[in-house]
């Protein structure tokens, strides 16, 4: 589910980075009152645990050769509470980006929202509303944990195509991408639910004291937090549905509402995105059959053709120039190393 840079446009990446940073900042400020110095070590080590837990794979049923692994956001939210859980999972996502390069640097905001913030809070909210202190039964505890895992993973997965569609980079129709993501992550979420319940069951058997502190807790989410969460989710879902709605009439056309090849076609949506315009322009420029008619002039003689050839030469020059620059830098660095070694030899 790690998104790459290429799935996003710069405004969406900046926006989501901003939202993630603001969210994390708020959570950290809030957590300052809860966190004691001994909690710091626990949080850090549980983060490392999540890392290691994601390496434990196991065979999936029905599909030989595939294996699943745990994600662990809901498990952490249950053990640490949503605030600390969100901080730990966010730090895992950041390390995955920086050290292991899962997901791009620009997509970090999206990845934190999809995999840390939404699963932690949504998962914890679902878990808590099913398992509340007054009517606690072990069955409810397990059902709550399982449902929280499935729904929170689905919610995070649904955000991926929405963010990509908002960026306008989708080649695949939006609904296809959404359905694929939801389908695949339903399976992942179910596995996650099963394994979360199994781990909680194991801990309950072996070290019941770890879970004892958690179960009789009260709902720690205030009404305000819940309302804000729902508001944000509503906005995101509304944005997603409006895209889906405009997607329904004719597949990809929403991105190409302004069609240069049909001058009479009055666009329903005026699209001012420079990238999309650039693509259209490109198509108009290089299309072998502009305006659905074959070229009247022979190749190599029209102004258009001359322009095209000139563009070809510019790009050729650009590539050669870049390669030469890189060669120069390489030789320069090599020379630098050599003189340094010489100096070291001389000083010795």
Partner 1 sequence: MHHSYIDKFSYQNSIIHRLDSRVKVITVLIYTAMVISLPKTYLTVLTCYLVGPFALLVLGKIPLKFAFKQVLLVSPFILVLALSSPFYDRASLTVPFGPITWQISRGWLRCCVILAKFVITMLALIALVSTTRFSALLHGLQKMGVPKILVIQLGFLYRYIFLFIDKVQHILQARAARKMRNLGFKKETKVAAAMLGSLLIKSINAAENVSIAMQARGFDGHFRTLTKSKIKANDIIFALVAVSLMIFLHFIIRPVMT
Residue 162 CB, shortest distance to partner 1, in Å, is 16
Residue 119 CA to residue 113 CA, distance in Å, equals 8
Helix/strand number for the chain, H first, E second: 12, 2
Nearer to partner 1, 230 or 316 (CB): 316
> Nearest distance from residue 232's CB to partner 1, in Å?
20
Choose between 22 and 235: whose C-beta lies nearer to partner 1: 22
Distance of CA 206 to the CA centre of its chain: 36
| Cα–Cα distance measured from residue 190 to residue 103, given in angstroms and rounded to the nearest whole number | 24
> Given CA atoms 284, 289, 292, 297 in this order, what sign does their dihedral have?
positive
Closer CB to partner 1, residue 265 or residue 316?
316
What number of other Cβ atoms are within 10 A of residue 33's Cβ?
Answer: 8
Which of residues 32 and 223 has its CB atom nearest to partner 1 in the complex? 32
Distance from C-alpha of 331 to C-alpha of 340, rounded to nearest angstrom = 14
Q: How far is the CB of 80 from partner 1 (least distance, A)?
A: 11
**Residue listed under structure tokens 């072998």:** 288
* Torsion angle (degrees, nearest 10) of CA 265, 271, 272, 277: -70
Q: How far is the CB of 238 from partner 1 (least distance, A)?
A: 26
The encoded tokens of residue 240 equal 């997603």
Nearer to partner 1, 40 or 268 (CB): 40
CB of 224 to partner 1, least distance (A): 21
CA atoms within 13 A on the CB side of 306: 3
**Rounded Cα gap, residues 157 and 186, in angstroms:** 9
Nearer to partner 1, 228 or 306 (CB): 306
| Least distance CB 94 / partner 1 (angstroms) | 6
Which residue, 176 or 238, has its beta carbon nearer to partner 1? 176
CB of 33 to partner 1, least distance (A): 11
Tokens 């969210």 sit at which residue?
A: 23
Task: Give the integer Cα–Cα distance in Å for 329 and 124.
Answer: 53
């Amino acid at each position: 589910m790690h998104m790459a840079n290429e799935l996003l446009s710069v405004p969406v990446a900046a926006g989501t980075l901003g939202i993630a940073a603001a969210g994390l900042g708020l959570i950290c400020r809030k957590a300052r009152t809860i966190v004691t110095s001994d909690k710091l070590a626990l949080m850090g080590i549980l983060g490392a645990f999540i890392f290691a837990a994601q390496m434990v794979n196991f065979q999936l049923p029905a599909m030989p050769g595939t294996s699943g692994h745990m994600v662990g956001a809901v498990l952490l939210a249950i053990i640490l509470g949503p605030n600390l859980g969100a901080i730990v999972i966010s730090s895992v996502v950041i390390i995955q980006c920086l050290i292991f390069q899962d997901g791009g640097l620009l997509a970090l905001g999206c990845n934190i929202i999809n995999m840390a913030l939404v699963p932690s809070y949504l998962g914890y909210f679902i878990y808590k509303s099913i398992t509340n202190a007054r009517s606690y039964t072990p069955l409810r505890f397990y059902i709550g944990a399982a449902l929280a895992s499935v729904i929170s993973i689905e919610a995070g997965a649904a955000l991926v195509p929405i963010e990509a569609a908002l960026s306008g980079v989708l080649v695949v129709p939006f609904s296809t991408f959404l359905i694929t993501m939801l389908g695949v992550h339903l399976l992942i979420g179910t596995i996650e639910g099963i394994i979360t319940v199994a781990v909680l069951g194991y801990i309950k058997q072996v070290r019941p004291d770890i879970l004892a502190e958690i179960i009789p807790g009260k709902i720690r989410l205030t009404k305000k937090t819940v309302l804000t969460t729902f508001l944000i989710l509503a906005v995101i879902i509304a944005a997603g549905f409006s895209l889906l709605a405009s997607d329904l009439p004719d597949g990809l056309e929403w991105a190409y509402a302004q069609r240069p090849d049909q001058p009479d076609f009055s666009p329903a949506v005026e699209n001012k995105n420079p990238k999309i315009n650039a693509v259209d322009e490109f198509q108009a420029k290089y299309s072998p059959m502009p305006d659905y008619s074959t070229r009247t002039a022979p190749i190599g003689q029209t102004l258009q053709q001359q322009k095209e050839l000139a563009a070809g030469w510019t790009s050729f020059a650009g590539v050669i120039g870049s390669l030469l620059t890189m060669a120069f830098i390489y030789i320069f660095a090599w020379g630098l190393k050599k003189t340094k070694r010489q100096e070291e030899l001389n000083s010795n």
